[in-house]
Amino acid sequence: MDDMGKRTQEWQDSNPLIVWRKTQNLTSQQVADKLGLTARRLLELETGSRPKDEEWKLITPRTGITPEQLVAWERAKPHVGVKPPPN
């Protein structure tokens, strides 16, 4: 995988919902059920779709993930031609 592809995959894997799901050792379907979402909608959220206001009312109390965390994740998306910050 090229550098941009690797950075994009690492960014995608750092989605707060994915991180939370993995730390809870839950499947996507279990999380969707817990949040009252369809599995398809959860996949959309895990790949960058923004939660609707009514979804935030379910997500934050049940996961602790805040809108600010998601915004920070979105802003960290790698862009072509932009060097990653040093580790």
CB-side neighbour CA atoms (13 Å) of 65: 25
pLDDT (0 to 100) of residue 24: 97
pLDDT (0 to 100) of residue 17: 96
Whole-prediction pTM: 0.84
pLDDT (0 to 100) of residue 74: 92
Query: Looking at the domain that runs over 3-75, which CATH code has it been given?
Result: 1.10.260
pLDDT (0 to 100) of residue 55: 95
- Helix 28-35 with 39-46: angle, nearest 10 deg: 100
For the chain, give every domain's residue range.
Answer: 3-75
Reading the chain (87 residues) residue by residue, the pLDDT tens digits are: 578 889 899 999 999 999 999 999 999 999 999 999 999 999 999 999 999 999 999 999 999 999 999 999 999 999 876 665 666
The 3-class SS string of 24-46 reads: CCCCHHHHHHHHCCCHHHHHHHH
